[in-house]
A and B are shown apart, each in its own frame.
Chain A
Amino acid sequence: MRTMAGRLIFFEGKKCIRCHSCEVGCQLENDAPPGVRLRWVTSHVRGHVPALREVSVSTACFHCSDPSCVAACPAGALRRRSDGVVEHLRSRCIGCGYCVQSCPFHVPKRSPAQHTMRKCSFCVQRIDRGKEPACVAKCPTGALSYHPDGKTPDAQAYGSAEGLHMVYALQGPPEEYRLPVPVPRNTVAAGQPWKWLGGLLPGALVLAWLWKRLSPTEEGDG
């Protein structure tokens, strides 16, 4: 058993029956408008004919330990709490969509009806009162379980080693569930200084050349 700082939702693939109860519970609890899903169940076919098998995964925000969305947000609408939950403050969200473009898991969704971005909130309104998240509470088979102490039942689970707060015990390689491999880190911060430098340096050199070409004493114009 692996222990990490903060709360954890654990998904156990073999127990999922694709009933979508987690989705419904999440939508109702979190006032999500139609068409904007904060948690979704996807099914994937594995194997070859005739031995085909359908597997499914319940996905929402992974609450990364070093979240790209928090690094990207220009309005202070996203923050990482000490318990690992990546909280979205809707009253501060300007709906710019940069977190949507920055999340390596493509989790945040724009909600035109609510004029903000929406994503899984880890049901902070429930967990702060000692309850479990709505998706976990509605799961009839225990495929989703809540671990406020951060203890992962399966140390090999997808995302466990990388400090995600939503981890997956899958029935096959993560690629078959369309989960990115390796588990992505903060894409916004990675290499950003080099990208600034890669633009500023050639730009400054060209401008310096133009500046010299246009010095008041320069005679040649053509």
Chain B
Amino acid sequence: MAETWGFPIALDLFFAGLAAGAFCLSVFAGRKKGEGFEALSRAGAFLAPASIVFGLAMLTLDLMSRERFWYTLSVFNVTSPMSMGAWLLTLFALVSVAYGLCRLPGPVLSRVPVAGGAVARRRAVCLRVLGTAGVPLALAVSVYTGVLLSVSSLPFWRNGALPALFCSSAMTTGFAGGALAALRTGAPEAMERPLLWLRSAYRVLLSCCLAFALLFTVLAFLNTQRGDPCRLFTGWTGALWWAGVVGLGILLPLALMADGERTGRRRLAAAFWLVLAGGFLLRLVIVFAGQA
């Protein structure tokens, strides 16, 4: 059977989650003082709008009538996760772009047309307002990607653990993306404390991700119809699920972040890359296995 949804949808689901996680990282890290946290917050603030715009572009690319994409914003169908998602993505994109603009350096921000000067003078207030509005939106965006699939008629996708799994994966990938960008821009000594905080956060985030991945596996197995093999145990989707998503994307990063009082930058960077790869493979496996 030819897939109705392919790579663009997997990319959209991944980048929407990445954007949501990166935004939350930016807002949370912005609460702490210090150059390292500042670098982390700035990286998340710029990564979120870039990711969400790319995700929206992928979503539009998958439409057969791309010029009509705006029709989704002429309807508010509360029973349709895709309609809700279109609104959530749009609102979140607007908030994250505004939030990203507020994080521009002062001289650059004051040159932004229309309100740049005024925003530059009240940057702290703007960041607080946009951050407070954006975190619930980011959470809803990360959950919508799971709800979208889990209410479909395809048995593999009709899995109650999918929203929580996608949400936890969104946070891990968003944090990893922001952290990798901050590692490139922040001074090594300034990044010490943020990295220690990230490591402790990741122990919880990856544990949640692992728990929801296992719950998803159990429910997928129980949902499997007689005579139809569970696609998490067979074929390329099964291999990618266990080796890529669970092994490389969750367990290995968890191990890399687990030992020692302090963790090396290279080791952490490798863990972040693995988290990103695992997050993408998660969407890829689920999108394709559901339609196989």
List chain A positions with a Cβ less than 8 A from chain B.
68, 71-77, 92-98, 100-104, 106, 110-112, 115-117, 184, 187-192, 194-196, 198-200, 202-204, 206-207, 209-211, 213-216, 221-222
Q: Can you name the residue of chain A whose Cβ is closest to the Cβ of B152? A: A101
A98 B80 Cβ-Cβ under 8 A: yes
Kindly state the separation between the CA atoms of A207 and B199 in the bound complex, as whole angstroms: 15
Bound-complex Cα distance A211 to B80 (A)? 31
A-B contact list, 15 entries, CB within 8 Å: A94-B69, A98-B80, A101-B157, A102-B152, A184-B153, A187-B153, A192-B81, A195-B151, A200-B167, A206-B204, A210-B204, A214-B28, A216-B33, A221-B197, A221-B200
By the criterion CB–CB under 8 Å, are B4 and A74 in contact? no
Of the candidate stretches B47-55, B117-125, B134-142, B178-186, the one touching chain A is B134-142
A202 touches B158 (CB 8 A): no
Task: Check A100/B64 contact, CB under 8 A, given A198-B164, A214-B29, A221-B193.
Answer: no
Q: Which listed residue, A101, A111, A194, touches B154 by the CB 8 Å rule?
A: A101
Instruction: Verify B153–A103 contact, CB threshold 8 A.
Output: yes
* Residues of chain B having any CB pair with chain A under 8 Å: 4-5, 24, 28-29, 31-33, 62-65, 68-69, 71-72, 74-75, 77, 79-83, 85-86, 135, 139-140, 142-143, 146-154, 157-158, 160-164, 166-168, 171, 193, 196-197, 199-201, 204-205, 208, 212, 261
Contact B64 A115 (CB under 8 A): yes
The distance from the CB of B167 to the nearest CB of chain A, in whole angstroms, is 4
Nearest CB in chain B to that of A93: its residue? B65
Whether B135 contacts A188 by the Cβ 8 Å rule is no
With A200-B140, A222-B199 as known contacts, state yes or no: A95 contacts B65, CB within 8 Å.
yes
B257 CB to nearest chain A CB (Å): 11
Give chain B residues whose Cβ lies under 8 Å from the Cβ of A76. 71, 74-75, 77
| Interface pair A200/B82, CB less than 8 Å apart | no
Instruction: Say yes or no: A216 contacts B153, CB within 8 Å.
Output: no
Docked CA distance A181–B32 (Å): 57
B148: A residues at CB distance < 8 A: 98
B4, B32, B151, B171: most-surrounded residue (chain A CB, <10 A): B151
Are A192's CB and B151's CB within 8 A? yes
| CB neighbours of A95 from chain B (8 A) | 63-65
Contact B146 A199 (CB under 8 A): yes
Q: Which 5 A-B pairs have the closest CB atoms?
A: A95-B64, A199-B163, A199-B143, A74-B83, A222-B196
